[in-house]
Amino acid sequence: MRKQEIISVLLLGILVFFGCQKSDYKEIKQYTIEQFMNTTSIGGSSFSADAKKILFSSDESGIFNAYTIPVEGGEPTKLTDSKDDAILAISFFPDDDRILFRSDKGGNEIWHIYLQDENGTVKDLTPFENARALFYGWSYDEKNFFYGSNKRDQRITDIYEMDIETFSSKMIYQNDSVYYFGGISNDKQYIAFEKPISDNNSDMYLYDRKTKELKYLTPHEGEINYSPMTFSVDSKSLYYLTDEDSEFRYLNRYDIESGHSEKIEEANWDIWYAYFSHNGKYRVVGINNDAKTEIKIYDAATDQLVKLPNLPDADITSVNISRNEKLMSFYLNGSRSPGNLYIYNFETKRYKKLTETMNPEIDPEDLVEAQVIRYKSFDGLEIPAIFYKPHNIKPGEKVPALIWVHGGPGGQSRMYYFAFLQYLINHGYVVIAVNNRGSTGYGKTFYQMDNLKHGEDDLSDCVEAKKFLASTEYVDENKIGIIGMSYGGYMALAALAFRPEEFTVGVDMFGISNWLRTLESIPPWWEAMKEALYKEMGNPKTDKEYLCRISPLFHADKIIKPLMVLQGANDPRVLRAESDDIVEAVKKNGVPVEYIIFEDEGHGFRKKENRIKGYKAILDFLDKYLKAGTSS
């Protein structure tokens, strides 16, 4: 056979091989938003005194309420019956079945701590008008709990101790320097604090309640973060995170008597948290491993890893160990499976799934497994992202796509179940959740790369994602939209205002349109982080020109593509005026604008009925202006 004939046969074989490859197309069932929202969201876990029940929160009723479930399995028992305001379970009492929970009014984030006794009677333990209260934990002797409250001054969160026999409380630290609470030692002698300076720089302090001395622990030069995590059970050491001489945060231990610090653990990613079980038998460490949580549990006596069961490849969160240190509860969450509560027995080495939150009408095989991908941005920087490809893209078909931007500043899109995104994907939209520069989890250099460049370089990262989408050959380059919540909503507005030809549509959920107003009206209880926020975003008193430049409201005349906006009327972070103003301004351009206001929501939508209404409206908007390409 001649050389040319050999080549022809080989080419024919290659063509036949690829032509016979099975397409990843498959028929799937399409689900309604009501079916997706009939999937239950749950969170939190607290063991009862006898370790036979777990307290948690669930929105099975349409809004979050408190429930319990036996550790041996069985049906959940509903403890509260709120119809209007979300109830988030905090904890069982140490010696009985009374519970603590927190709730606010209409999403205003002015949280109060409530007691519910075994007969269902509820008492507000922090009934201070216009003051919020945050639970900080039980005392080791289980006679008190600690909480923070800004009742004295709305800008300052002081620290209180509440006696659980009399329910009288006393201030144990007047926080005039506006520190973040970082923990209290088991003997109650020491309180740890963090003081943010910038997004990549913070200090750490230790207050001695006996001597009344406040000790500055971290004198340093340059930008280094120090964050207290927990005290040792014997109250002799403070464990903290730092990124000193490192891109990522690692775990250190500070010996209180000697003042010496030593490194305990590091990883190639940020260590997120570390704590001990009640009596110190176990040390739990959580690592932010490429947008997924990696859990490590150590035997504290030997510092050896505890071998855990082989679990499905999913995100493990909210690890909680019972006081008797025999049981561990945790949540398992995958991109195709919502979070479920599990129990693990350290003695039998067995685990059990306690809840089934997925709507049985939805087949997980119809949903899409997320993929971590990376692409190059305009300057060569590698941008991580979470990618979702619908199952039912036919060979040769071109489909619309959405660039999803997470909240922040900072923040991160992660490998977890998000019903709304799966709803959009199920209805034919490719989604790429971009972790643009400035996102958490990829090192401190990456994290600070958008400082005073918001709506500029970070937006360019989102625009560059279009090239990756085009490279798939199944995304229609002329049908790409941008969507996000909070900071992600701002990015959607910024995209339409500053890059008006790049995206076909934008969807803004409670996003900032005017940074001047937002930074001037941040909630008073954010005082501790205000200066750090100003250093990242700009100070409204000194950086007015810059803030006007990056605020879409002042450039709304350039928005020429269809826009949808959703807003909670009670949002304390992004005021309703942010959405009202941008909607009014864009309407003057003759551009299609749709606007939904939820009068009973704050920063995010907690009620299922509101999520159903809002998410269905978004799909209708996208189908009309993105998928169908209608311009009016």
| DSSP per-residue letters across 234-300 | TSSEEEEEE-TTSSS-EEEEEETTT--EEEEE--SSEEEEEEE-TTSSEEEEEEEETTEEEEEEEET
Quickly count: other Cβ atoms within 10 Å of residue 524's Cβ.
15
pLDDT at position 303 is 94
Handedness of CA 13, 14, 19, 22 (dihedral sign): positive
SS3 assignment for 98-126: CEEEEECCCCCCCCEEEEECCCCCEEECC
417: nearest Cα among 327, 343, 482, 357? 357
Contacts of 460 (CB under 8 A, 6+ apart): 377, 378
| φ and ψ at residue 241, rounded to 5 degrees | -105, 145
| φ and ψ at residue 554, rounded to 5 degrees | -80, 0
Contacts of 181 (CB under 8 A, 6+ apart): 136, 148, 157, 159, 191, 192, 193
Residue 148's identity, in one-letter code, is: G
Could you read off the pLDDT of 60-115 as tens digits, one per residue?
999 999 999 999 999 999 999 999 999 999 999 999 999 999 999 999 999 999 99
Would you state the structure tokens that stand for residue 387, as one six-digit string? 């990618």
pLDDT at position 409 is 86
Confidence of residue 2 (pLDDT cuts 50, 70, 90): very low
Cα gap 35→31, rounded to integer Å: 6
Indicate whether 120 pLDDT > 60. yes
Strand order across the beta sheet in which 506-509 lies: 371-376, 382-388, 430-434, 399-405, 475-485, 506-509, 563-568, 593-598
Which 3 state secondary structure label does DSSP give 480? Answer: strand
Would you state the structure tokens that stand for residue 149, as one six-digit string? 């409250």
Cα gap 347→355, rounded to integer Å: 22
Which 3 state secondary structure label does DSSP give 157? Answer: strand
Cα gap 230→243, rounded to integer Å: 17
Which 3 state secondary structure label does DSSP give 320? Answer: strand
Could you read off the pLDDT of 256-306 as tens digits, one per residue?
999 999 999 999 999 999 999 999 999 999 999 999 999 999 999 999 999
DSSP state for residue 524 in the 8-state scheme: G
Could you read off the pLDDT of 4-22 as tens digits, one per residue?
433 333 333 333 333 333 4
Confidence of residue 325 (pLDDT cuts 50, 70, 90): very high
Could you read off the pLDDT of 155-172 as tens digits, one per residue?
999 999 999 999 999 999
DSSP state for residue 6 in the 8-state scheme: H
Question: H or E segment at 48?
Answer: none
Percent of the chain with pLDDT over 90: 91
Which 3 state secondary structure label does DSSP give 155? Answer: coil
Q: How far is CA 428 from the centre of its chain?
A: 26
Cα gap 126→141, rounded to integer Å: 22
Cα gap 447→605, rounded to integer Å: 28
Cα gap 624→631, rounded to integer Å: 8
Contact call for residues 254 and 242 (beta carbons, < 8 A): no
Residue ranges in 555-596 assigned as alpha helix (H): 576-587
Total residue length of the chain: 632
CA distances from residue 597 to 63, 189, 510 in whole angstroms, order as listed: 18, 48, 10
> How far is the first Cα of the chain from the last one, in angstroms, to the nearest whole number?
63
Buried b vs exposed e over 275-288: b needs ≥16 C-beta within 10 Å?
bbbbeebbbbbbbb
- Report helix angle 457-471 to 487-498, nearest 10: 80
- Determine the average pLDDT of the residues in 546-562: 98
Q: Which domains, from first to last, does the chain contain?
A: 40-174 (2.120.10.30), 364-627 (3.40.50.1820)
- 592 or 20: which leads in pLDDT: 592
Could you read off the pLDDT of 504-538 as tens digits, one per residue?
999 999 999 999 999 999 899 888 888 889 989 99
Cα gap 160→140, rounded to integer Å: 15
Could you read off the pLDDT of 416-475 as tens digits, one per residue?
999 999 999 999 999 999 999 999 999 999 999 999 999 999 999 999 999 999 999 999
436: nearest Cα among 514, 377, 373, 508? 377
pLDDT at position 23 is 56
CA distances from residue 369 to 185, 386, 416, 520 in whole angstroms, order as listed: 43, 10, 10, 41
Percent of the chain with pLDDT over 70: 96
pLDDT at position 9 is 36
Left, alpha or beta for 606 (phi > 0: left; psi -120 to 50: alpha)? Answer: alpha
Mean pLDDT of the residues in the chain: 94
- 194 or 316: which leads in pLDDT: 194
Residue with tokens 């891109």: 247
pLDDT at position 631 is 53
Contact call for residues 177 and 197 (beta carbons, < 8 A): no
Contact call for residues 303 and 6 (beta carbons, < 8 A): no
Indicate whether 598 pLDDT > 90. yes
pLDDT at position 630 is 67
Which 3 state secondary structure label does DSSP give 222? Answer: coil
